[in-house]
Amino acid sequence: MRLSAPTGPVLLFAVAAVLLLAVRDGHCSQLCMDSTFPRTINGSLSFCGYNGTACCNATDDAAVQRQFAAMNISGTPCGDLVKSILCARCNPYAGELFTVTTSPRTVPRLCNSTGVASRLDGDSKQPAATDYCTTVWDTCKAVRIPGSPFQPPRGGAAAPTLTDVWQSVGDFCGALGGAPGNGGAPCFDGESAAFNASRVAPPASGMCLERIGNGSYLNMAPHPDGSNRVFLSNQAGKVFLATVPAQGSSKPLQLDAASPFLDITDEVHFDNEFGLLGLAFHPDFAKNGRFFVSYSCDKTQSASCSGRCACNSDVGCDPSKLTADNGAQPCQFQSVIAEYTANVTSGSPSTATAANPAEVRRIMTLGLPFTTHHGGQILFSPADGYLYFMMGDGGSVGDPWNFAQNKKSLLGKIIRIDVNELPTGNSTAGWGNYGVPKDNPFSTDSKFAPEVFALGFKNPWRCSFDSGKPSDLYCADVGQATYEEVDLVIKGGNYGWRVFEGTTAYLPLESPGGNTSAASIDAIPPVMGYAHSAVNNNVGSASITGGYVFRSGTDPCLAGRYLYADLYAQSIWAGLESPEGSGEYNVTALPFACSKRSPIACDSAARSPLPSLGYIFSFGEDNAGDVYLLTSKGVYRVVDPSECGYACPIKSSAPGSSPPPGASPSAAVTARRTPAVATTAMVLAGVFLALLALS
């Protein structure tokens, strides 16, 4: 991956062909009730029976067994149903099955094909179709259940029947039931989490962009106070605080280039794939002012640039055997994660317009074996609050030392660390000053580096958590010679590099670090991607840039689609999981144009009316869910498609104002975000209107 723009002809826009995508087994929203990820269990739970991954351990399983035993309904038809319902808290999707709406749930959302209580057959007060929720009602309605888990709408007996607390099956299923996928959530069918069998989405005819800034940046982070401000960082080492104009205002980004929020250019080594590569603000930044940067340093130029080499005896690598012929510079360059804090002279961190220039602490320092493939992005997970660090395989063609599959190495991995529970005294973790989450998938496996969350990556370039499904982590992984991929990352997953490039076996040119067989790993294939042969540009290369799942109401036809691009080719794709929960994505090439109301005029591509974006370095997302492209030509924002003449049957909900700095997200901003899945009525209405328009 080359970040600095090489000299050469102006790139031409090309529309890639529709791609064949690998299907990834399983669903994609696994999350437990405490917002942690499901854990791997040995064997199966003795009472609840879940195996593989679950949200319970043996202790939790025993507690459920005791709760059920106290009900004294074992061995009855109702008892069998209640046991399954109690054990649903161990389901890998428990976090969504028990999603709290108006009051705490004590049972999961029970699959109910009627959806809501109002959908009844006439005056019979019976549901229109038999389903799991109805089965529970019919089986248990007259059974007295001590310590009943069913959530009563009002008080009742210590051992109530369902009819003691619910007037009818309609009331019962209206409160505790839900159709698969209704409101973006799965339901419980007695054994598993059920999802929509199909997904109807209006077509996206194109993406409309406006240019709101001229600078070139690698990272955008929304201000944690929920306002209309964002932080932008460039590769050289500067972080800027900017105010985002309201949609439709025709105003540019407000940013003072002469007054950066933080300037660490003296510490940053900036060259090609080196620089300030990551920026992340603590979830409680508005209170504690903590934020983190990831950057490259050169130990020959900076006294503070020192750390363990990623090529060392611990991982079976000898730095003396790394030759300059392959671009090796063993440990001269380091990847650093450092903590800084807002400079608060008065008020709260939310009002700070500058950071304290002194580093608070060094979180991690990792010596690099080669001069390429360093990843470098850092993100806080909205689901668990831990810091994720995306690290490439360390460089050279084909990962010759097989770092990505080396269990002890941090190279070629997604790393997950705790920056809240720091080591005490002089004690530090393996590579710096951080804690290791106890539920990391390999935290107790002596064969693995405990920091590893997932492995088998070549060079993850731009990852993001889906704001609609916070446990979903999408990572774009740069290919070697044939294929660029998007992975949906799960805890403990192995994504195949360098055993595979995409879904094709990869044969390395040299293997001083040994090989890994395909049979020895359970490689997870990509969910999206594109072949190099599908990209037409004058550079003769391809390099994927990962984006975001679009959750803004600005363009309803992009809602729920994952956007990604190619760095060089100015090609952009949109992928939609369909059916939802299947792991299968429908991907289309996405045309784009420049709004006639763009605050800053877009450059035109050579011999084309389309805008020239230059090199697409990265994507960004603000507090309203609006998506941005960070390119060598400036900052572009996705706007209402009608501004470019693109048709969408659902009207944009973009508001005309944004909240001030320091404010919580306003109703206008909240309204602009769309849920994980558009309601069936809205989507069907949109498709109906589209058909009318075509008739």
Domain architecture of the chain: domains with CATH = 39-194 (no CATH), 207-672 (2.120.10.30)
**What does the pLDDT read at residue 684?**
37
In the DSSP assignment, the letter for residue 519 is G
The pLDDT value recorded for residue 508 is 92
Residues 298, 630: Cα–Cα separation, whole Å: 26
Position 114 confidence tier, pLDDT thresholds 50, 70, 90: low
pLDDT exceeds cutoff 70 at 225: yes
Identify which of 229, 284, 287 has the alpha carbon closest to the alpha carbon of residue 261.
Answer: 229
Closest CA to 463 of 490, 494, 495, 487: 487
Higher pLDDT, 448 or 158: 448
DSSP H/E element including 232: strand 229-233
The predicted pLDDT at position 100 comes to: 57
Asked whether the bond before 498 is cis by omega within 30 degrees of 0, the reply is yes
pLDDT tens-digit readout, 245-273 = 999 999 999 999 999 999 999 999 999 89
Structure tokens at 390: 């995306």
Identify any residues that bridge with 276 across adjacent strands, giving them in sequence order. Answer: 295
Q: How far apart are CA 576 and CA 591, in angstroms?
A: 16
| Residues 632-662 pLDDT 10s | 999 999 999 999 999 998 888 765 444 555 4
Q: Cβ atoms within 10 A of the Cβ of 588, count?
A: 16
φ/ψ (deg, to 5) at 134: -65, -40
Q: Is the peptide bond before 579 cis (omega within 30 degrees of 0)?
A: yes
Structure-model confidence comparison of residues 116 and 413, the more confident one:
413
Residue-level pLDDT at 535:
86
pLDDT at 303: 86
Residue the block writes with tokens 């209006």: 202
Of 59-73, 150-164, 432-446, 618-632, the least confident: 150-164
CB burial string 44-65: b at 16+ within 10 A, e below: ebebbebeebbbbeeebbeebb
According to the model, what pLDDT value does residue 694 have? 36
CA–CA separation, 47 vs 367, rounded Å? 47
Best mean pLDDT range from 180-184, 314-318, 443-447: 443-447
DSSP for residue 33: T
Bridge partners, residue 364, by sequence: 337, 432
Higher pLDDT, 23 or 280: 280
Q: Which of 16-30, 349-363, 481-495 has the lowest mean pLDDT?
A: 16-30
The length of the chain, given as a count of residues: 695
Mean pLDDT of 163-173: 86
Q: What's at 473, amino acid-wise?
A: L
CB of 108 within 8 A of CB of 188?
yes
Q: What is the mean pLDDT of residues 506-515?
A: 92
283 to 89, 179, 291, 420, 664: CA distances (angstroms): 27, 33, 9, 11, 14
Calculate what percentage of the chain has a pLDDT beyond 70.
Answer: 81
Q: Which residues contact 75 (CB under 8 A, 6 or more apart)?
A: none
Dihedrals φ, ψ of 587, to 5°? -115, 135
Element (H, E) at 576: strand 572-577
Residue with tokens 């670090």: 513
What percent helix, strand, coil does the chain show, rounded to 5? Answer: 15, 25, 60
* Its pTM surpasses 0.85: no
Structure-token pair, residue 576: 């939609």
Q: How confident is the model at residue 96 (pLDDT cuts 50, 70, 90)?
A: confident
Q: Which two tokens stand for residue 288?
A: 């504690």
Instruction: Read off the tokens for 165.
Output: 């607390």
Q: Which residues is 44 bridged to in the sheet?
A: 51
The half-sphere exposure of 287 on its side-chain side, counting CA atoms within 13 A, is 2
Q: How far apart are CA 181 and CA 298, in angstroms?
A: 51
Q: Confidence band (pLDDT; 50, 70, 90) for 426?
A: low
pLDDT for residue 689 is more than 50: no
- DSSP collapsed to 3 states, 533-575: HHCCCCCCCCCEEEEEECCECCCHHHCCCEEEEECCCCCEEEE
**Average pLDDT of the chain?**
84
DSSP 370: B
> Which residues are registered as beta bridge partners of 485?
477, 529
Q: How far apart are CA 328 and CA 441, in angstroms?
A: 31
Judged against a pLDDT cut of 90, whether residue 471 lies above it is answered with no
- 61 pLDDT band, cuts 50/70/90, is very high
